[in-house]
Amino acid sequence: MNSLIGFSYVLVVIAWLFQLALAAEVSYDKRALKINGERKIVISGSIHYPRSTPEMWPDLIRKAKEGGLDAIETYVFWNAHEPRRKEYHFEDNLDLVRFIKDVQSAGLYAIVRLGPYVCAEWNYGGLPVWLHQTPGMQIRTDNQLFKDEMQTFVTLIINMFKKDKLFAPQGGNIILAQIENEYGDVEHYYGDAGRSYVQWCAKLAGSLEIGVPWVMCKQKDAPSPTLETHNGFYGESYQPSNSTTPKMWTENWTGWFVAWGTPIEHRPVEDLAYSVARFFQSGGTLQNYYMYHGGTNFGRTAGGPYMITSYDYDAPLDEYGNPNQPKWGHLQDLHLAIKAMEKTLLYGKTKTYYLNETLVTTYYGAGMQPGCFLTNANSSHHTTVTFQGKQYVLPPWSTSILPGCKKEAYNTAKVSTQASIMVKCPTTKEDASLSWSWRPERIRENLKRDGVFTKHELIEQKLVTGDASDYLWYMTSVDLSKEGQMKLRVNTAGHGLHAFFNEKHIGSHYAPFDGEHNVNYSFVFEQNVVAKPGRNSIALLSISVGLKNYGPAFDLNPEGIVGGPVELIRANDILDLSSNPWSYKIGIDGEERRFYLHTSDDPHGWQPSGFPTMRPFTWYKTKFSTPLGKDPVVLDTIGMGKGEAWVNGKSIGRFWPKYLATTDGCKPCDYRGGFSPGNCQTGCGQPSQRWYHVPRSFLKAGETNTLVLFEEIGGDPSRVSFQTVTTGVACGNVHEGKTLTLSCQGERSISSIQFASFGDPHGTCKAFRKGSCEAKKALSIVQQACVGKSSCSIDVSEAILGETNCSVFVKRLAVQAACS
Ligand SMILES: *[C@@H]1O[C@H](CO)[C@@H](O)[C@H](O)[C@H]1NC(C)=O
Ligand SMILES: *[C@@H]1O[C@H](CO)[C@@H](O)[C@H](O)[C@H]1NC(C)=O
Ligand SMILES: *[C@@H]1O[C@H](CO)[C@@H](O)[C@H](O)[C@H]1NC(C)=O
Ligand SMILES: *[C@@H]1O[C@H](CO)[C@@H](O)[C@H](O)[C@H]1NC(C)=O
Ligand SMILES: *[C@@H]1O[C@H](CO)[C@@H](O)[C@H](O)[C@H]1NC(C)=O
Ligand SMILES: CC(=O)N[C@H]1CO[C@H](CO)[C@@H](O)[C@@H]1O
């Protein structure tokens, strides 16, 4: 007995000592964050846990670590955790603690940005809509009701972290936390109340005693104890206003988000790497990629209005978790070059000056290996500079990094990493044609049934729905004395509308994407109707497509037929129906009856054959087997209109392939001269999103799975299919002196070399051309080294590839390989 107690006592003491040994003190000075008194360079990347699955997390985190990251950053998504007041969810992909622990097991730090307003192109910026429904509540300002709810939620999360000992001083890995988010952008709107709210946020943060620093991003006057940090595409000219705090960059945008109706955005890696190199050149010490893995807006979590389901973001890891090459690899090389001079960057003195056009920064100090950066900020011209007796060629808009200052280890515009072109492959033949059963959404029954309540006014949509659905019925009737043509006119704040008169569908309209950051989706719907004497019914189905997530008072942005007016017009007579008795019904019938959970074979209301096409308000269901292998699985929704898709009862998001991106704006991309969204778009005139990620953990191995689609505007499911994503083509374009590595990055191998030239080849992947000179045998040497292998490496030199038949200044090897 005694010895047992003694034994467990010893265990407790050992555990306590172990914890203490791991416990780390986090502080800062004007140069950097300090961990146990040591300054640190922190290279971090954003991965949002609800945008992937727990099964994906360890692999994403491992690839982030391999890519050279020290930390993973995430927001905390309040409306996902507390969709209804005091009803909390932390299961599946909302298991925040498990996510942080996965980050810890990989040996990485964590940065948690609690907000709880997060923006993030996430529905309603992460705030629960029940806040909006609470009388007297004013969001993100000095309002007691809001501050109470915010404090409750933030405290709950902090206590969860503390209980699991996740803060660094407790032996955990959280080294930094954020309160609020980009409030500096909107503070002016809230006036004095905004000012005192910021003070209150800082006080709340300070009172939670987490033992690690707090930050506020884009907050010039971040009150103590919070530290100001920067968000943007570039960070070299940013300086914190408080000179005793370090230069930290919480969001460096690796790409950009996409809305329904816009093409796909890309940010070239040469420009991204340049912005990072310049940030460290100019004294930055903590940098976070937003996003490192963007992932997927499952369910109805996409913000908006009009954010698409994919949140790929052109991040270094693509939506499915594959390295987005060359972005992932080129940044990995950059991180190695920066880390090679970490000590000097943190403790050295610094000297910055120009040599002709070249901006030179030298970090140096007694007993330290020096480190140098050479920048050519000219956006059109190469420059050649002689530095410490050696000549360097700097491409336009590039920085060279020279750990030791004697040799270029890295240049941001010289990409040695392969480019991978991913392709979608059909799954096995037997799966190719899916057999569909279907059932109609019961519109008529819905129209006849009274709503859940009646009011003599037209109420704002989310105020009624609490965002329990995208759909809200507004229904009324009107007694008319005579029959005849009339016009129904509906003023709505958007985003979409289906109108019914006397139970007949008379028309639909969606607000077009407004091209900018979606401010106003209101429109006027007009349609001729034939009235009958006596009672006429009007039913309006209003649809929202993601609640606004950004801007001053974004929470008050109206959705639905708020205030109307809704009018019936005959000649010059306008009958205003706005204060009629309006009956309300939230959601649609199949949603309420959860058709998406119908996974058994029991037909139960589903018609097993003869499915209709182009029929609005239709549910479709099919079975499919899990595609073989490990490659990511996607649903190709081409042919469908608009709706939502579920696999085995889990929503894989809203689809809308009928919404094509604008046809202009896809010009050839140039990395030089400063990136902004719209610079580098692809997919003009194509669906903004056609393929939807189906995480493998949603699928059952060796069993059949169920796909349910709700089609709202009419589509043809016979064209829908499952596909897998894999590398189709791998290209390299590598300077002499480096190594070219090609890999099919998955289960395939290199089947042929479609192009190889060593000399001065032109062009880019899939469009390489030979230059004026080359080495004769390069192609056969590359074929020998690569064909039949899943990956291969070749040192790019004349010794390996043979002499070229003329002298070019900088020789390159360009290769295009097919994977199959
Ligand atoms: C600047 O930061 C220091 C901590 O590093 C803090 O003590 C001081 O109050 C801050 N100054 C201002 C004006 O906020
Ligand atoms: C870039 O370099 C060229 C050639 O030296 C020069 O004419 C041009 O003005 C430079 N552009 C900028 C923006 O400095
Ligand atoms: C600066 O430019 C001049 C004229 O082109 C050249 O002679 C000189 O070598 C350059 N200096 C450096 C440090 O490269
Ligand atoms: C939104 O657009 C509609 C129609 O174009 C216009 O009547 C309305 O004034 C606009 N509202 C705002 C807030 O800009
Ligand atoms: C070098 O050889 C290639 C063929 O391998 C030829 O097309 C090219 O014209 C030659 N260039 C010179 C400068 O001789
Ligand atoms: C700090 C910063 O660079 N902010 C910019 C971020 O991107 C948006 C959208 O392009 C710009 O409007 C901001 O100025």
SS3 per residue for 586-650 = ECCHHHHCCHHHCCCCCCCCCECCCCCCCCCCEEEEEEEECCCCCCCEEEECCCCCCEEEEECCE
Q: Average pLDDT of the chain?
A: 93
Tell me how far apart the alpha carbons of residues 17 and 357 are, in angstroms, rounded to a whole number. 56
Task: Return the SS3 of 67.
Answer: coil
> For residue 134, is pLDDT > 90?
yes
Rounded (5°) CA angle 120-124-130: 140
Cβ atoms of 272 and 254 within 8 Å: the answer is yes
- Whether 356 lines ligand 2, by a CB cut-off of 6 Å, is no
Distance from the CA of 227 to the center of ligand 1, in angstroms? 9
Distance 677 CA to ligand 6 centre (A): 9
Please check the confidence at residue 443 and state whether its pLDDT lies above 90.
no
pTM over 0.85: yes
Nearest ligand 5 atom, CA 805: 1
* Ligand 5 environment, Cβ below 6 A: 772-774, 776, 805-806
Q: What percent of the chain has pLDDT over 90?
A: 86
Cα 722 from Cα 688, distance rounded (Å): 18
Phi, psi of 12, rounded to the nearest 5 degrees: -60, -45
Spatial CA neighbour of 94 closest among 114, 80, 82, 111: 80
Question: How far, in Å, is the centroid of ligand 2 from the Cα of 810?
Answer: 22
Given a cut of 60, whether residue 19 has pLDDT beyond it is no
What single DSSP character describes residue 594? T
What is the distance between the alpha carbons of residues 306 and 550, in angstroms, rounded to a whole number? 13
677 lines ligand 6 (CB under 6 A): yes
Backbone angles phi, psi at 564, to 5 degrees: 65, -130
Task: Using DSSP, state whether 804 is helix, strand or coil.
Answer: strand
pLDDT tops 90 at residue 227 = yes
Which of 244, 245, 247, 248, when mutated, tests ligand 1's pocket best, judged by the most ligand atoms within 8 Å of its CB?
A: 244
Q: What is the pLDDT of residue 746?
A: 79
Closest CA to 420 of 328, 296, 313: 328
Does the beta carbon of 524 lie inside 6 Å of ligand 3? Answer: no
Query: Which tens digits make up the pLDDT trace of 265-321?
Result: 999 999 999 999 999 999 999 999 999 999 999 999 999 899 999 999 999 999 999
- Specify the pLDDT at position 160: 98
Mean pLDDT of 166-187: 96
- Report the 10 Å Cβ neighbour count for 273: 28
pLDDT digits 0-9 by tens, 351-388: 999 999 999 999 999 999 999 999 999 999 999 999 99
pLDDT value of residue 7: 57
Is residue 182 flagged as an active site residue? yes
In this predicted structure, the answer to whether residue 541 has a pLDDT above a threshold of 90 is yes
Judge whether 265 counts as a catalytic residue.
Answer: no
Looking at residue 512, its pLDDT comes to 85
Q: How far is the CA of 291 from the centre of ligand 1 (A)?
A: 30
Maximal C-alpha separation, the chain: 98
391 lines ligand 3 (CB under 6 A): no
406 CB neighbour count, 10 Å cutoff: 12
Please give the distance, rounded to the nearest whole angstrom, from the Cα atom of residue 286 to the centre of ligand 1.
19
Instruction: Determine the distance separating the centroid of ligand 5 and the alpha carbon of 646, expressed in angstroms.
Output: 58
Residue nearest to atom 13 of ligand 3 (CA): 386
**Shortest-distance Cα residue to atom 6 of ligand 6:** 232
Cβ-in-10-Å burial (0-12, 13-18, 19+) of 602 comes to: exposed
CA-CA distance, 357 to 377, in Å (whole number)?
A: 8
Nearest CA to ligand 2 atom 8: 378
Whole-number Å distance, alpha carbon 60 to ligand 6 midpoint, is: 28
245 lines ligand 1 (CB under 6 A): yes
* CB of 378 sitting under 6 A from ligand 2: yes
Rounded-to-integer distance, Cα 33 and Cα 176, Å: 9
- Which residue's alpha carbon is nearest to atom 4 within ligand 6? 232
**Confidence grade of residue 1 (pLDDT, cut at 50, 70, 90):** very low
CB 242 less than 6 A from any atom of ligand 1 = yes
Residue 666 · residue 682 · CB < 8 Å: yes
Q: 674 CB less than 6 Å from ligand 6?
A: no
Nearest by Cα to 727 from 516, 437, 425: 425
Domains and CATH numbers, the chain: 2-340 (3.20.20.80), 355-408 (no CATH), 422-440+592-724 (2.60.120.260), 447-585 (2.60.120.260), 736-819 (2.60.120.740)
pLDDT in tens, 500-516: 999 999 999 999 876 66
Catalytic residue among 73, 182, 460, 774: 182
Helices (H), 256-297: 269-281
What's the whole-number mean pLDDT along residues 180-207? 95
Q: Which of 30, 34, 242 to mutate to test the pocket of ligand 1 (most atoms within 8 A of CB)?
A: 242
**Burial of residue 516 (number of CB atoms within 10 Å: 0-12, 13-18, 19+):** exposed
243 lines ligand 1 (CB under 6 A): no
Number of residues that make up the chain: 820
Between CA 119 and CA 551 the distance in angstroms is 9
